[in-house]
């Protein structure tokens, strides 16, 4: 497999949920070692795209390839074992389990590595403070930190993160931006669905914009950030209006 080949690619992916045809031929490439932002209006199909990649909803047509393998029909657990970590929109925290137990469960290969845990505590200090607290008792921001910590508790090839800033206070978002910048230093490949344009502009290397179940634009994040006409055409709003 060429190092220049995208780590993840979707070709003509269609997804139906019941009678609804949500994804209508999604073509998307996620380059290795980059943070790709997946933007779009509400209902454009961003979350469905992540869930289809994870096998939580199966594509009715098209192909999903990850690291050289066709994972279109794989079971979710096998996709995760292939090296994809997923943070859903609702965070997927196990409320009845403690912070420690949530992380232990995410560490599939055995005990949590102490050095990596220290690194995670440096990104999200609250998790160390609430180590033995039931995760359901955490604040919204702390739950989001835990959901991301759970994804990065062991090295993975690709991280799929759905709206990490949703409902968070500006101070917590700043904390998240710092954490993602730290993550990017480790040559990580990340695909983030996001509605917060400041967050997207701060972190994105590449961007894909979705509309009506299709990817309608791909390119460098900086190009989109600087092209107000393009923003208006693709997203209906200027990024600057959200800063």
- Give me the residues that bind other proteins (CB under 8 A), please: 54, 56, 75-77, 80-81, 86, 88, 90, 92, 94-98, 100-101, 104-106, 108, 110-114, 117, 121, 128-134, 136-137, 150
Residue with smaller CB distance to other proteins, 31 or 92: 92
Residue with smaller CB distance to other proteins, 111 or 236: 111
**Locus of tokens 């992540």:** 50
Q: How far is the CB of 30 from other proteins (least distance, A)?
A: 18
Q: How far is the CB of 202 from other proteins (least distance, A)?
A: 27
Largest CA distance in the chain: 51
71 closest CA partner among 118, 7, 155: 7
Residue with smaller CB distance to other proteins, 90 or 212: 90
Sheet with 84-87, side-by-side order of all strands:
84-87, 158-162, 189-193, 35-40, 206-211, 214-220
Residue 113 is given by DSSP the state P
Q: How far is the CB of 169 from other proteins (least distance, A)?
A: 20
Provide the β-strand partners of residue 23: 15
Residue with smaller CB distance to other proteins, 156 or 201: 156
Q: How far is the CB of 49 from other proteins (least distance, A)?
A: 15
Contact 138, 169 (CB under 8 A): no
Positive or negative CA dihedral for 53, 1, 37, 211? negative
Q: How many residues are listed for the chain in this entry?
A: 243
Contact 56, 76 (CB under 8 A): yes
Q: How far is the CB of 207 from other proteins (least distance, A)?
A: 25
- 8-17 and 61-66 beta bridge pairing: antiparallel
Residue with smaller CB distance to other proteins, 102 or 196: 102
52 closest CA partner among 13, 83, 92: 13
Q: How far is the CB of 90 from other proteins (least distance, A)?
A: 8
Residue with smaller CB distance to other proteins, 134 or 230: 134
């Amino acid at each position: 497999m060429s190092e220049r080949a995208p780590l993840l690619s979707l070709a003509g992916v269609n997804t139906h949920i019941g009678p609804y045809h949500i994804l209508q031929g999604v073509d998307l490439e996620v380059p290795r070692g980059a943070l790709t932002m997946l933007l779009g209006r509400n209902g454009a199909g961003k979350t469905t795209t992540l869930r289809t990649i994870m096998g939580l909803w199966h594509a009715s047509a098209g192909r999903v390839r990850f690291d050289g393998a066709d994972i279109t029909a794989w079971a979710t657990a096998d996709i995760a074992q292939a090296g994809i970590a997923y943070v859903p929109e609702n965070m997927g925290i196990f409320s009845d389990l403690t912070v420690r137990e949530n992380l232990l469960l995410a560490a599939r290969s055995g005990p949590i590595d102490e050095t990596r845990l220290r690194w995670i505590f440096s990104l999200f200090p609250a998790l160390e403070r609430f180590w033995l607290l039931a995760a359901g008792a955490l604040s919204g921001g702390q739950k989001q930190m835990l959901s991301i910590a759970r994804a990065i508790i062991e090295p993975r090839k690709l991280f799929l993160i759905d709206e990490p800033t949703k409902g968070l206070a500006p101070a917590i978002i700043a904390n998240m931006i710092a954490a993602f910048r730290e993550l990017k230093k480790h040559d990580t490949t990340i695909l983030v669905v996001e509605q917060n344009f400041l967050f997207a502009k701060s972190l994105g290397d590449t961007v894909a914009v979705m509309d009506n179940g299709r990817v309608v634009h791909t390119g460098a994040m900086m190009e989109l950030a600087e092209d107000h006409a393009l923003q208006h055409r693709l997203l209906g709003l200027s990024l600057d209006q959200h800063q």
